Amino acid sequence: MEIKKILCPIDFSDISQSGFNYAVFMAHSHKAELTVLHVIDQLHGLGGYQVLALDLGEISQQMEKDASAKLSDLLSQVKENIKIEKAVRSGKASSQIIKMAKDIKADLIIMASHGRTGIPHVIMGSVAETVVRHAECPVLVVRDILR
């Protein structure tokens, strides 16, 4: 199996940084292209309200702008000579990750998981678990073991 395209979703948490580090290593090792994706959760239930005098569209645009800037900062720290693309999408994280993997024809998804179990897992769900179950390509999950 040849790995040419890797997708790495990131939420800017410390554990997602670990996933990103694995993705950079794998992209460099396989001479693969890396796409780093941040998904902005859609804002629900705020339509018709003014939040700090901004409308929903302005809030979404600002969130996308901030995420893009954070991605640029993150990518500027990469020392390896690899091709990296950044992407920001809005919606349900698992759905957008799966869709992006399909759109770029990813050979591998490398993502982090907070490793929640029990009640927190039931309440919060697991983006990683959903991606593993529904992605059309292999998924490497980096688990948070630093607790």
- What is the distance, to the nearest Å, from the Cα of residue 71 to the centroid of all Cα atoms in its chain? 10
Q: What is the pLDDT of residues 63-83, one digit of tens each?
A: 899 999 999 999 999 998 999
Q: What 3-state class would DSSP assign to 48?
A: coil
pLDDT score of 21 more than 50? yes
Structure tokens at 36: 């780093």
pLDDT score of 123 more than 60? no
106 vs 126, which has greater pLDDT?
106
Average pLDDT over residues 101-118: 86
Average pLDDT over residues 49-66: 73
The domain defined by 5-143 carries CATH number 3.40.1350.10: no
Among residues 12, 56, 15, 13, the alpha carbon closest in space to that of 143 is found at: 15
Q: Where are the domains of the chain?
A: 5-143
Residue located via tokens 């050979």: 107
Structure tokens at 43: 């804002």
104 in Cβ contact with 7 (< 8 Å) = yes
Going by the DSSP 8-state scheme, the letter that residue 14 receives in this structure is H
pLDDT score of 125 more than 90? no
